[in-house]
A and B are shown apart, each in its own frame.
Chain A
Amino acid sequence: MLVWTVRRILVSLVLIWIVATVIFTVIHLVPGDPAELLLSSGGMAPDPAAVAELRERLGLDRPFLEQYGAFLSGLLRGDLGASMIDEYPVIDEVLLRLPRTLELIAAGAILAVLIGIPVGTQAALRRGTVFDRATSATAALLLAVPIFVVGTLLVLVFAQWLRWMPAGGYVPLAQDPWQHLTLLTMPALAVAKGLVAVVFRMTRAAVLDSLSRDFVRTARAKGLSPSRILVHHVVRNAIIPVLTVLALHMGTLLGGTVLVEYVFNWPGMSTPLLKAVEARDYPMVVGIVLTISVLFVALNLVMDLVYAALDPRIRHA
């Protein structure tokens, strides 16, 4: 087991190195000069000498391999560098932004579970009824409508018409918890939109599957109450694949909350990534993408280790 674990960790480290190299190379290959762009803000023409000076200061005048070497050496020391725009350390930016994105995803997932599982279960129990058809159609609609449309509608209805919510923005939890949660509500609903539909569909299918199983028939034959059968036997068995799918979707949301963060002005990790790509802020782009990749790789590693611990066939394969 130990050898297998060490080998698996080494494979993960190699994966991270490959990802880092690919990101670093690709962002440097894309046309666009960070120094030129920074000093050209607002459609202005900067002094070429000032651009040259900034390029030198940012180390952009050095050969690519030298820049790559410096990047790798920094990475080994846990230093992701600093933003080319304002010299802010990338690691600090990530540590500031990542919890906000994770909070948004977690809030969306909680909403998805709270809505998707009960409604999906009811739809399965009332299979073929108006309720089932209506909820299934709603789920299809939720998947089909783009997130920016839902976001804009939420802002229009709750901020502009009803004035129940602010249009968007962010206040730290420590500063004003009520305001923080209020501002989290609409973006969390927007994130939950797609997840609710997925959880609903998976729950409905899994509950239907469980209902036709022998153990349910046996439970009924034993004279257990319908509610006990549903909660303790049907839903409990159905929930495992639902949570697995939900976890996979949450992983993809790490880099996929761009539109929600943009529409609701939620300062998570997607916004600085987008800005950094636009501005060709190399260290920021590489740092953020690498963080997301490391989280994915780490998640996979943990899953592999857990599976291996549970199933000896995997570690002996």
Chain B
Amino acid sequence: MTPTRRSLLAAGAALPFLGAVPARAQRQPGVLRFGLSSFPPSIQPWVNTGTAAATVKLLIYRGLVSFAPDGTLRGELAESWQNENPTTWVFRLRENAVFQNGDRVTSEDIRWNLEQMAAERSTAFYRGQAQRIARIETPDARTVRLVTMEPMVTLPLWFANYHMMMVSPRSPTGAGSLPIGAGPFVLKGQERGVSLDLEPFDRYYKPGLPKLRGVRMIAYADENLRVAALQAGDVDLIEYVPWQAMASIEADPKLRLDAADGPFMYLTFNTTRPHLGDARVRRAIAHAIRREDIVKAAFFGRGSPLEGLPIPPGSPLFDAELATGWRYDPDRARALLAEAGVPNGFSTNILSTAQYGMHKDTAEVVQQHLAAVGIQAELRLPDWATRVTLGNRGQFDISVMGTTTENNDPDGLTNLIDGSLPASYIRSIGLRVPRIEELLAAGRAEFDEAKRRAIYTEMQRIALAEAPIVGLAWRSQGYAMVPEVRGFKALAGALNFFSGITLEETTIG
């Protein structure tokens, strides 16, 4: 048929009626459509492959314990746990916990998992922790007794982490195969790079859960498209809500935002470089930066200043006075520089990355504030991969970093400030403060809560004086959803990326 002017006009006139045709797939009742920030590179349960993968892992797998929505520990595969003596923890497994292949979860299975994680050729994120378990005893099918090399009050926290999920020893092996878990959902299928479909596991050990009839996880790497997909009704819930979109989502009566401060930005130092080995200079830097400017510039006001070590306000070990120990005080910064013999400042560089706006914006604000007290810093902004390598090799003076601790316990700070650990892009290079290392070790070994508090209070005081890192800003981490989504909750503080655990109790419609 030859197109005519009349047929083109008719086609144009019909355009508005296209809306009558369902352009998007209809929502299936009870199936949640979750907008992920990226397609998980891998969902191998013991390997750290990022937070999108963590959310999927929290659907398929379960560990011995987990974090409840209020942040406390609760039983999962283990119904109870207790500390027999400072080096021995005993976990009692549930009677009804089964893997998704129908096998009952036994103490021997837990032993096998821990041995695999600790093995010589293991790439497990918790390999180091698993290797600190000296002995695994399995007196019966439901009891696991773990004897650690040294007293370990934080051991149950390890088992709540999404990197320490338990899988069936009889899982298929080989390229592309996925270990079998005991979580509330089973991976039904996936369109590589696009979406994952999960359906409920009908023998999940919690009666009545999961409540959803399925979860469809769709990857939207572009944060703006992720928000658009939610606003257009393509998905019901999204993670990693961009800060610039939070206000419009809050203002939209058809949407709901659930955000909490959790991850944070901070500075690390290469203390082998001129002047930065002097704690007074690091403290001067800490006092020279007005954190509110970072929160405004990098996070659109969605976050809060971090003027001490990153211990969240909700933590029982939070101390309000110590939390502002590095408050903005440029006069104090200049005085400290003068005391350190550099009254006119010095030249240095700041390593960050142009790949992530928040890292770049934070570095720019820091650069401006350092210039105000006489420290001239040149910005180095390679891509993230190069930034990580330069950080690990110590090829920088000052670096901007963003992360979260593994949990809300102050022991989570160990990775950031324990100078005895191997060089890493997440902590300062060449800086050892023996007293901090001793106190961190003591805090891990102390079972008395009051004594622990005293230990961490002292540790914070020393850290404020030594400035092994400098806290900059808490950043808000948000989920947005349609009002029909109920039961999903963003966990606070460092546990924000564990929020996927609440999907087992989530309903829609």
A: residues with CB less than 8 A from B are 30-33, 36-50, 53-54, 57, 82, 85-88, 93, 96-97, 152, 155-156, 159-160, 162-172, 176, 179, 182, 262-265, 267, 271-272, 275, 278-280
Contact of B41 among A30, A49, A168, A279 (CB under 8 A): A279
Q: Contact at B222–A169, with CB atoms within 8 Å?
A: no
Q: Contact at B426–A167, with CB atoms within 8 Å?
A: no
A-chain residues with CB within 8 Å of residue B389 when the two chains form the complex = 31-33, 36
Which of B120-128, B134-142, B451-459 lines the interface with chain A?
A: B120-128
Shortest distance between the CB of B40 and any CB in chain A (Å): 9
Known contacts A155-B228, A182-B24: A42-B222 contact under CB 8 Å: no
Q: Contact at B191–A170, with CB atoms within 8 Å?
A: yes
B201-249 contacts to A, CB under 8 A, are 218-222, 224-225, 228-229, 231-234
Q: Contact at A164–B23, with CB atoms within 8 Å?
A: yes
Q: Sorted from nearest, which 4 A-B pairs have the closest CB atoms?
A: A32-B385, A43-B403, A41-B50, A167-B228
B392 within 8 Å of A by Cβ? yes
With both beta carbons as reference points, the residue of chain B lying nearest to A185 in the complex is identified as: B23
Contact of A172 among B23, B128, B191, B193 (CB under 8 A): B191
B-chain residues with CB within 8 Å of residue A50 when the two chains form the complex = 122-125, 127
Q: Contact at A160–B424, with CB atoms within 8 Å?
A: no
Question: In the complex, A49 Cα to B130 Cα: how many Å?
Answer: 13
Known contacts A31-B386, A49-B127, A156-B228: A166-B19 contact under CB 8 Å: no
Question: In the complex, A202 Cα to B169 Cα: how many Å?
Answer: 65
Contact of B229 among A30, A48, A167 (CB under 8 A): A167
Q: Contact at A39–B220, with CB atoms within 8 Å?
A: no
Contact of B48 among A42, A155, A262, A272 (CB under 8 A): A42
Shortest distance between the CB of B189 and any CB in chain A (Å): 11
A-chain residues with CB within 8 Å of residue B497 when the two chains form the complex = 42
Contact of B401 among A32, A38, A43, A54 (CB under 8 A): A43
A-chain residues with CB within 8 Å of residue B269 when the two chains form the complex = none
Shortest distance between the CB of B429 and any CB in chain A (Å): 13
Q: Contact at A39–B221, with CB atoms within 8 Å?
A: no
B416-438 contacts to A, CB under 8 A, are 421-422, 424-427
A selection of 20 A-B contacts at a CB cut-off of 8 Å is A31-B382, A31-B390, A42-B403, A45-B415, A45-B426, A45-B427, A47-B125, A49-B127, A86-B41, A87-B175, A96-B192, A159-B228, A159-B234, A163-B232, A167-B231, A168-B222, A169-B234, A170-B194, A179-B25, A278-B383
Number of interface residues of B (CB under 8 A): 65
Question: In the complex, A280 Cα to B389 Cα: how many Å?
Answer: 12
Q: Contact at B194–A267, with CB atoms within 8 Å?
A: yes
Contact of B221 among A33, A48, A166, A271 (CB under 8 A): A271
B87 within 8 Å of A by Cβ? no
Q: Contact at B175–A182, with CB atoms within 8 Å?
A: no
Q: Contact at B384–A155, with CB atoms within 8 Å?
A: no
Q: Contact at A86–B42, with CB atoms within 8 Å?
A: yes
Known contacts A265-B220, A279-B41: A166-B24 contact under CB 8 Å: yes
Q: Contact at B193–A272, with CB atoms within 8 Å?
A: yes
B-chain residues with CB within 8 Å of residue A49 when the two chains form the complex = 127-128
Q: Contact at A263–B222, with CB atoms within 8 Å?
A: yes
B51 within 8 Å of A by Cβ? yes
Q: Contact at A279–B403, with CB atoms within 8 Å?
A: no
Shortest distance between the CB of B25 and any CB in chain A (Å): 6
A-chain residues with CB within 8 Å of residue B421 when the two chains form the complex = 45
Question: In the complex, A127 Cα to B265 Cα: how many Å?
Answer: 60
With both beta carbons as reference points, the residue of chain B lying nearest to A82 in the complex is identified as: B175
Shortest distance between the CB of A30 and any CB in chain B (Å): 7
Question: CB-CB contacts of B383-401 with A at 8 A, as 1s and 0s?
Answer: 1111011101000000001
Contact of B25 among A39, A176, A271 (CB under 8 A): A176
Q: Contact at B221–A265, with CB atoms within 8 Å?
A: yes
A-chain residues with CB within 8 Å of residue B386 when the two chains form the complex = 30-32
> Can you name 9 extra interface pairs (CB under 8 A) apart from A42-B497, A167-B232?
A32-B385, A46-B48, A47-B127, A87-B175, A162-B19, A164-B19, A166-B24, A182-B23, A275-B41
Q: Contact at B193–A267, with CB atoms within 8 Å?
A: yes
B1 within 8 Å of A by Cβ? no
With both beta carbons as reference points, the residue of chain B lying nearest to A152 in the complex is identified as: B224
With both beta carbons as reference points, the residue of chain B lying nearest to A50 in the complex is identified as: B123
Shortest distance between the CB of B109 and any CB in chain A (Å): 22
Question: In the complex, A164 Cα to B121 Cα: how many Å?
Answer: 53
B-chain residues with CB within 8 Å of residue A37 when the two chains form the complex = 385, 388
Q: Contact at B234–A280, with CB atoms within 8 Å?
A: no
B49 within 8 Å of A by Cβ? yes
Q: Contact at B388–A32, with CB atoms within 8 Å?
A: yes
Q: Contact at B383–A44, with CB atoms within 8 Å?
A: no
Question: In the complex, A156 Cα to B225 Cα: how many Å?
Answer: 9
Known contacts A47-B125, A155-B225: A39-B234 contact under CB 8 Å: no
A-chain residues with CB within 8 Å of residue B228 when the two chains form the complex = 155-156, 159-160, 167-168
A-chain residues with CB within 8 Å of residue B193 when the two chains form the complex = 96-97, 267, 271-272
B175-213 contacts to A, CB under 8 A, are 175-176, 191-195
B-chain residues with CB within 8 Å of residue A267 when the two chains form the complex = 191-194
B404 within 8 Å of A by Cβ? yes
With both beta carbons as reference points, the residue of chain A lying nearest to B389 in the complex is identified as: A31
Q: Contact at A278–B355, with CB atoms within 8 Å?
A: yes
A-chain residues with CB within 8 Å of residue B192 when the two chains form the complex = 88, 93, 96, 267
B-chain residues with CB within 8 Å of residue A54 when the two chains form the complex = 123
Question: In the complex, A36 Cα to B384 Cα: how many Å?
Answer: 12
Question: In the complex, A275 Cα to B125 Cα: how many Å?
Answer: 22
B306 within 8 Å of A by Cβ? no
With both beta carbons as reference points, the residue of chain A lying nearest to B129 in the complex is identified as: A47
Question: In the complex, A96 Cα to B194 Cα: how many Å?
Answer: 12
With both beta carbons as reference points, the residue of chain A lying nearest to B406 in the complex is identified as: A44
Q: Contact at B219–A265, with CB atoms within 8 Å?
A: yes
With both beta carbons as reference points, the residue of chain A lying nearest to B385 in the complex is identified as: A32
